[in-house]
């Protein structure tokens, strides 16, 4: 079976450098990249909100979401492991294996670009723990605000086309996914995920090498990553190196232990081979919305009319409507939806607020999907702080204009 460790051992590059890296890993002194990682900025990135630097976890300021697509240099960064090798495009290989594949194969980046049809899709990449820091009482994990997400145009090839080249046996159940990043300690579980076969073969699931018209940034998965539209970003494996078609459920740590939610609190049925009586893996995103041009507690100098803007999204059914309340939820007004870039993209919206007087206003926003799914007033509690999609509530203070 081909895996990430095999890739690291067999890929072209300096054996001496790899030996030094292994020594650093054993000593616990390995940096997040081959060079030192700056404390507050990442190479090629604008200033983001730092949560940790080893591994690098940085979120995007909400003000950068006031656009259809999130610029590459402002796109959030999420890693579980601190050793993130710089991979040269001409040395990268993607290996296809597993007990339910007919012919193990290997592809270069150039082969992916030239041997398969290229497609582009607009899709939101959203960390499973986005808004975890808003749960009360607090739950363990990185205390993300609302910026562990980004919307982009992803270009690549369909995963199903690549797997078809290797041939899928009728016994196939799941496809496991591995990347090149690794832990500092050799005992750290590799970050390997799996997809149910039907999701792996979905025409929208891509191996992407371009992002917003440019090559993937290093911190977002160069030279190739998985894009799984509609599902949370835990499956969007960066620096993809290996795909294994499996006849049995993958039992790695990041599937059987991590990224799981209680079955009695959320709808399931999308990944049956990984479900137990009590828990299931987090999969599809839930409907949600966000105000992008105003902040909680903000004071504005007058009662002039103002535009309230934001974005809304779901797992791919599409946004049917966004509503805004300025009186704490007693009355709701429908916002106008902006251009539709596809059902997996977030949808921008805007609404003109014409306050009648100065004072304090409680602004709320809620989205409804085309399937009828609507945001709840309160987030559903769960041990890992996933799926926070409570109706957003902010307070605005409007001063008496001169």
Q: What is the pLDDT of residues 226-240, one digit of tens each?
A: 999 999 999 999 999
What's residue 229's pLDDT?
Answer: 98
Task: Give the pLDDT of residue 112.
Answer: 98
Mean pLDDT of 239-256: 98
| pLDDT (mean) for 194-213 | 98
Among all chains, which residue has been given the structure tokens 């970003």?
A: 233
Name the DSSP class of 390. P
Split at pLDDT 50, 70, 90, the class of 8 is very low
Sign of CA dihedral 8, 10, 14, 17: positive
Give the C-alpha separation, 392 to 225, whole Å: 32
CA distances from 30 to 18, 41, 73, 182, 218 (A): 12, 19, 25, 11, 18
Residue 20 has pLDDT above 60, yes or no: no
The confidence score (pLDDT) of residue 269 equals: 84
- Which residues pair with residue 288 across a beta bridge? 313
Q: Count other C-beta atoms under 10 Å from residue 106's C-beta.
A: 15
Mean pLDDT of 248-255: 98
E-strand ranges in 283-370 read 288-291, 298-300, 306-313, 319-325, 333-334, 336-337, 347-353, 359-369
| Enclosing H/E stretch for 394 | strand 392-398
Q: How far apart (Å, rounded) are the C-alpha atoms in residues 87 and 74?
A: 22
Categorize the per-residue pLDDT at 376 as very low, low, confident or very high, splitting at 50, 70 and 90: very high
Q: What pLDDT does 247 receive?
A: 98
Q: Of the candidates 320, 390, 394, 395, which has an alpha carbon nearest to the alpha carbon of residue 360?
A: 395
Q: In this predicted model, what pLDDT tens digit does every residue of 75-97 receive, in sequence order?
A: 999 999 999 999 999 999 999 99
Given this model, what pLDDT does residue 401 score? 61
Share of the chain above pLDDT 70, in %: 90
Q: How confident is the model at residue 290 (pLDDT cuts 50, 70, 90)?
A: very high
Q: Which residues pair with 299 in a beta bridge?
A: 397
Contact 220, 158 (CB under 8 A): no
Percent of the chain clearing pLDDT 90 (strictly above):
87
Q: Are 148 and 52 in contact (CB under 8 A)?
A: no
The pLDDT assigned to 400 comes to 78
Which residues are CB-contacts of 130 (< 8 A; sequence separation ≥ 6)?
A: 144, 146, 147, 148, 149, 388
Picking from 25-34, 129-138, 319-328, 375-384, which range would have the lowest pLDDT averaged per residue?
A: 25-34
- The first and second tokens of residue 250, run together, are 């993958």
Count of helix runs (H) and strand runs (E) in the chain: 6, 24
Q: Residue 13: pLDDT above 50?
A: no
Mean pLDDT of the chain: 91
Strands 174-179 and 149-158: unpaired
| Residue that has been written with the tokens 């960390």 in this structure | 127
Is the pLDDT reported for residue 14 higher than 80? no
Q: pLDDT higher for 229 or 301?
A: 229
Flag whether pLDDT at 343 surpasses 60: yes
What domains lie within the chain, and their CATH numbers?
4-281 (3.90.420.10), 288-398 (2.60.40.650)
Which of these ranges, 8-22, 253-267, 272-286, has the smallest mean pLDDT? 8-22
Residue 39: count of CB within 10 angstroms of its CB: 7
Cα separation, 70 vs 93, in Å, equals 28
Q: Kindly tell me if the per-residue pLDDT of 326 is higher than 50.
A: yes
Residue 184 CA to residue 193 CA, distance in Å, equals 19
pLDDT at 28: 28
CB-hemisphere CA count at 13 Å for 330?
5
Round to whole Å and give the CA distance between 101 and 130. Answer: 35
Q: Are 224 and 156 in contact (CB under 8 A)?
A: yes
Question: CA 98, CA 203: separation in Å to the nearest integer?
Answer: 21
Strand partners, 122: 153
Separation CA 272–CA 396 (nearest Å): 45
Question: What is the pLDDT, as a whole number, of residue 385?
Answer: 98
């Amino acid at each position: 079976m081909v895996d990430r460790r095999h890739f690291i051992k067999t890929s072209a590059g300096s054996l001496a450098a790899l030996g030094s890296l292994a020594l650093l890993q054993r000593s616990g002194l390995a940096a997040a990249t081959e060079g030192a990682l700056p404390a507050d900025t990442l190479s090629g990135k604008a200033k983001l909100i730092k949560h940790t630097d080893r591994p690098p976890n940085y979120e995007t300021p909400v003000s950068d979401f006031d656009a259809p697509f999130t610029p590459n240099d402002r796109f959030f960064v999420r890693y579980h492991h601190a050793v993130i090798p710089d991979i040269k495009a001409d040395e990268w290989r993607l290996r296809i294996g597993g007990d339910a594949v007919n012919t193990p194969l290997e592809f270069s980046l150039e082969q992916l670009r030239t041997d398969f049809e290229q497609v582009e899709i607009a899709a939101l990449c959203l960390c499973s723990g986005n808004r975890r820091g808003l749960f009360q009482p607090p739950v363990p994990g990185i205390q993300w605000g609302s910026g562990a997400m980004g919307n982009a145009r992803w270009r690549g090839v369909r995963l199903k086309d690549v797997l078809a080249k290797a041939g899928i046996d009728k016994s196939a159940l799941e496809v496991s996914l591995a990347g090149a990043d690794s832990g500092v300690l050799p005992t750290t579980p590799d970050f390997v995920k799996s997809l149910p076969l039907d999701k792996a073969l979905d025409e929208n699931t891509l191996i992407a090498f371009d992002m917003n018209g440019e090559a993937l940034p290093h911190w977002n998965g160069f030279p190739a990553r998985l894009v799984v539209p509609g599902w949370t970003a835990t499956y969007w494996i960066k620096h993809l190196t290996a795909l294994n078609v499996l006849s049995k459920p993958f039992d790695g740590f990041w599937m059987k232990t991590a990224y799981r939610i209680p079955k009695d609190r959320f709808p399931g049925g999308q990944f049956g081979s990984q479900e137990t009586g009590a828990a299931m893996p987090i999969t599809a995103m839930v409907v949600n919305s966000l105000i992008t041009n105003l902040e909680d507690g903000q004071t504005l100098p007058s009662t002039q009319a103002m535009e309230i803007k934001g974005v809304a999204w779901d797992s791919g059914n599409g946004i049917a409507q966004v509503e805004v309340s300025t009186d704490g939820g007693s009355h709701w007004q429908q916002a106008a939806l902006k251009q539709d870039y596809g059902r997996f993209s977030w949808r921008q919206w805007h609404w003109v607020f014409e306050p009648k007087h100065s004072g304090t206003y409680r602004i709320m926003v809620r989205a409804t999907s085309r399937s009828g799914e609507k945001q709840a007033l309160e987030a559903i509690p769960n041990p890992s702080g996933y799926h926070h999609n409570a109706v957003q509530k902010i307070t605005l203070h409007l001063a008496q204009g001169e």
